[in-house]
A = this chain, B = another copy of it.
Amino acid sequence: MDKKRDISMAVIKRLPKYYRHLAELLRNDVDRISSKELSDKIGFTASQIRQDFNCFGGFGQQGYGYNVKELYNEIGKILGTDKEYNTIIVGAGNIGQAIANYSRFEKVGFNLKGIFDTNPKLIGVRIKDIEIEDVDNIDAFLSKNSVDIGIICVPANTAQKIADLFVSNGIKGIWNFAPVDLDVPEDVSVENVHLLESMLTLVYLMNEQKAK
């Protein structure tokens, strides 16, 4: 486990992409791959790929390359996909509902346990066999159920309040879709999906291209 320490964020952000490409190779029945071949496919340099993998120990074999299945499993373990995670969604608007219905997550071990909203029109509605509950019930729900990840899909002005609620109930992972930077203790991990910022990045890149 100690190996995991001091891994740079640059490496961490590349891991899921390796994982995705290896899953694809696996589906295509590819047994082995060299860092050079993976480089051609994924776009990182072969040197970087070898450096990245060696942060976690040597998965390859000189003269041969990497065994796809083994590498896929190793990276899965590093990422934590060998475990299951219980999640709840707070905010059952457009994004919240889309995430709730997004079936790819279940397949990878994310189990949605609850959906919450403040809107009386939504409370009681069922999404995927889960009845949307009042946000006021979150505290009680979390004291009875073990939840690993809280997903925030509420507007910016209430997001911090929800995050505080998560933190006070011992949730250690927050997936945040609200356009704010959440303030949480350092042992709580936050991953943001800032859609408008992503769109603005695209617009910048387009205008930059046009100027060339």
Chain A residues with a Cβ under 8 A of chain B: 1-2, 4-5, 7, 12-13, 15-17, 19-20, 42-43, 78-81, 85, 94-95, 97-99, 101-102, 104-105, 108, 110, 148-149, 172-175, 179, 181, 187-191, 193-212
Interface of A is mostly: helix
Q: Which residues of B contact A179 (CB under 8 A)?
A: 20, 104
Query: In the bound complex, what is the Cα–Cα distance between A188 and B148 (angstroms)?
Result: 39
Given A110-B199, A175-B202, A191-B202, 5 other A-B residues pairs in contact with their CB atoms under 8 A: A13-B201, A19-B200, A79-B204, A149-B203, A189-B202
Contact yes or no, A204 B12, CB < 8 A = yes
Contact yes or no, A195 B194, CB < 8 A = no
Nearest CB to that of A110 among chain B residues? Answer: B199
Contact yes or no, A175 B204, CB < 8 A = no
Q: Which residues of B contact A98 (CB under 8 A)?
A: 94-95, 97-98
Q: Which residues of B contact A148 (CB under 8 A)?
A: 206
Contact yes or no, B199 A191, CB < 8 A = yes
Contact yes or no, B4 A181, CB < 8 A = no
Query: In the bound complex, what is the Cα–Cα distance between A79 and B199 (angstroms)?
Result: 10
Query: In the bound complex, what is the Cα–Cα distance between A209 and B173 (angstroms)?
Result: 10
Partner of A78, one of B19, B85, B204: B204
Query: In the bound complex, what is the Cα–Cα distance between A122 and B99 (angstroms)?
Result: 19
Query: In the bound complex, what is the Cα–Cα distance between A95 and B198 (angstroms)?
Result: 15
Q: Which residues of B contact A198 (CB under 8 A)?
A: 16, 175, 191, 193
User: Smallest Cβ distance from A105 to chain B, in angstroms?
Assistant: 7
User: Smallest Cβ distance from A182 to chain B, in angstroms?
Assistant: 12
Q: Which residues of B contact A190 (CB under 8 A)?
A: 202
Q: Which residues of B contact A200 (CB under 8 A)?
A: 15-16, 19, 79-81, 108
Contact yes or no, A172 B1, CB < 8 A = no
